């Protein structure tokens, strides 16, 4: 009951953001306007997402991730937030920032503690372990530059 109330309250504050079924969003997450969030996605504690961002199905976004405006996140993208995970005991959140206009292809893994720069483009299936510069295009495992200057059409 309270969960449903919080969900409706959340939707009221995120005007024009469409959230598809079976998605789990923590009440402490902050999502902007005009976003689309696909099914089976998890958006964790205190995650921040800007305006106009499109997140496709089955994406995992845990605590410590901040996503800007007009970002594209393809299906099955996984963000991490703990570089050396273990089942019990203390752990430390490593923060990840995705800047405005970046695009992350289907099935990528974003290893934590990095910044993906403005308008950067990540190829499908990449494992990103280091910062990606603005407008840089990277792909592969681990992700390496394939083009230096992505231009939007």
Ligand X SMILES: CC(C)(COP(=O)(O)OP(=O)(O)OC[C@H]1O[C@@H](n2cnc3c(N)ncnc32)[C@H](O)[C@@H]1OP(=O)(O)O)[C@@H](O)C(=O)NCCC(=O)NCCS
Residue 82: Cβ-neighbour burial (10 angstroms; 0-12, 13-18, 19+): middle
Told to check if 66 binds ligand X by CB under 6 A, we report no
Told to check if 64 binds ligand X by CB under 6 A, we report no
48 to 32, 63, 147: CA distances (angstroms): 8, 9, 29
Told to check if 57 binds ligand X by CB under 6 A, we report no
The smaller minimum CB distance to ligand X, of residues 83 and 146, is found at 146
Told to check if 127 binds ligand X by CB under 6 A, we report no
Q: Which of residues 38, 121, 132, 135 is near ligand X by CB under 6 A?
A: 121
- Which residues is 48 bridged to in the sheet? 30, 66
DSSP letter (8 states) at residue 98:
E
- How many residues of this chain interact with ligand X, rule: CB under 6 A? 12
- Token code pair at residue 74: 């393809």
Choose the binding region for ligand X from 12-20, 39-47, 80-88, 133-141 (rule: CB under 6 A): 133-141
Told to check if 92 binds ligand X by CB under 6 A, we report no
Determine the Cα–Cα distance for residues 12 and 31; give it in Å rounded to an integer.
Answer: 11
Interacting residue ranges for ligand X, rule: CB under 6 A: 74, 105-106, 121, 123-125, 137, 139-140, 146-147
């Amino acid at each position: 009951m309270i969960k449903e109330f919080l969900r409706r309250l959340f939707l009221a504050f995120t005007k024009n953001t469409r959230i598809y079924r079976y998605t789990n969003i923590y009440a402490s997450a902050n999502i902007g306007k005009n976003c689309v969030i696909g099914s089976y996605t998890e958006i964790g504690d205190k995650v921040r997402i800007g305006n106009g961002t499109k997140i496709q199905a089955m994406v995992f976004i845990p605590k410590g991730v901040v996503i800007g405006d007009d970002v594209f996140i393809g299906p099955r993208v996984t963000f991490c937030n703990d570089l050396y995970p273990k089942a019990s005991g203390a752990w430390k959140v490593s923060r990840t920032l995705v800047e405005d206009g970046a695009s992350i292809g289907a099935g990528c893994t974003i290893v934590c503690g990095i910044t993906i720069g403005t308008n950067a483009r990540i190829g499908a299936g990449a494992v990103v372990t280091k910062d990606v510069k603005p407008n840089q295009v990277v792909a592969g495992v681990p992700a390496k530059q394939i083009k230096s200057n992505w231009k939007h059409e």
